Structure 1
Amino acid sequence: MITLSKFITEYLSYCEYRKRLNFKTLKSYRIDLNQYLAFCDNSLDFLSKNTLDLYITELHKRYKPKSVKRKIASLKAFFHYLEYTELLEQNPFDKLDVHFREAKLLPKTIPFYSIQKFLSVLYEQKNLAVSAYQFRCCLRDIAAIELLFATGMRISELCSLHPSDIDLENNTVLIYGKGAKERILQIGNPEVIVALKSYQDSFKEDISNCGYFFVNKQKHKLSDQSVRFMINRYANLAGIEQHITPHMFRHSFATLLLEQDVDIRYIQKMLGHSSISTTEIYTHVSSAKQKDILVNKHPRNFMVVNDG
Structure 2
Amino acid sequence: MQRYVDWLNTKSPYVIENGPYKPASLAQKVTILKGFFKKLYEWQYITTPLHLGFQSTTLTEADRPNRDAGATHVKYLLELFEELGHIPMFTIIHVLTTTGIRNSEFCRLKVGDVAFDSINQCYYLNVIAKGSKLRQIPLRDKTLKSINLFRHARGLKPFLEMAKVDPNAPLFTTNTGGPFNSSYLAKYFHRQIAALPSDRRDEIREVFSYKEREDPLDESSPIINKEIKITPHLFRHAFAIISSQSNIELHKISQSLGHENIQTTKIYLEKVMAIESHAINSWDQNLFGDYI
Give TM class, smaller chain: 0.5 to 0.7
Q: Counterpart of 2:126?
A: 174
Identity of aligned residues (%): 19
Structure 2 unmatched ranges of 5 or more: 12-20, 209-228
CA 1:216–1:269: 2 relative to 1, 3 Å: same
Root-mean-square deviation over aligned CA pairs: 3.5
d(CA) in 2 for partners of 1:140 and 1:155? 15
Structure 1 unmatched ranges of 5 or more: 1-51, 127-137
Q: May I ask how many residue pairs the two structures share in their alignment?
A: 238
Does 1:298 find its partner at 2:282?
A: yes
Does 1:226 find its partner at 2:188?
A: yes
d(CA) in 2 for partners of 1:97 and 1:201? 50
1:250 deviates by 1.4
1:259 to 233, 245, 248: 245
d(CA) in 2 for partners of 1:87 and 1:57? 23
CA contact (8 A) 2:100 2:240 kept: yes
1:176 deviates by 2.3
CA contact (8 A) 2:100 2:239 kept: yes
Q: How does 1:1-308 map to 2 (within 5 A)?
A: 52-59=1-8, 61=10, 63-69=21-27, 70-71=29-30, 73-74=32-33, 77-78=36-37, 81=40, 84-85=43-44, 88=47, 90-91=48-49, 93-94=51-52, 96=53, 98-104=55-61, 105=64, 107-126=66-85, 138-167=86-115, 170-188=122-140, 190-200=141-151, 203-205=155-157, 211-222=169-180, 223-224=184-185, 225-233=187-195, 237=200, 239-241=203-205, 242=208, 243-286=229-272, 290=276, 294=279, 297-303=281-287
CA 1:211–1:278: 2 relative to 1, 3 Å: same
Higher strand fraction: Structure 1 or Structure 2? 2
CA contact (8 A) 1:174 1:182 kept: yes
d(CA) in 1 for partners of 2:134 and 2:156? 25
CA 1:79–1:174: 2 relative to 1, 3 Å: closer
1:147 deviates by 0.4
d(CA) in 2 for partners of 1:91 and 1:268? 31
So what's the TM-score if we normalise by structure 1?
A: 0.63
**Larger-gyration structure (1/2):** 1
Q: Counterpart of 1:45?
A: none
- Deviating beyond 6 angstroms after TM superposition, the runs of 4 or more aligned structure 1 residues are none
**Secondary structure at the residue paired with 1:285?**
helix
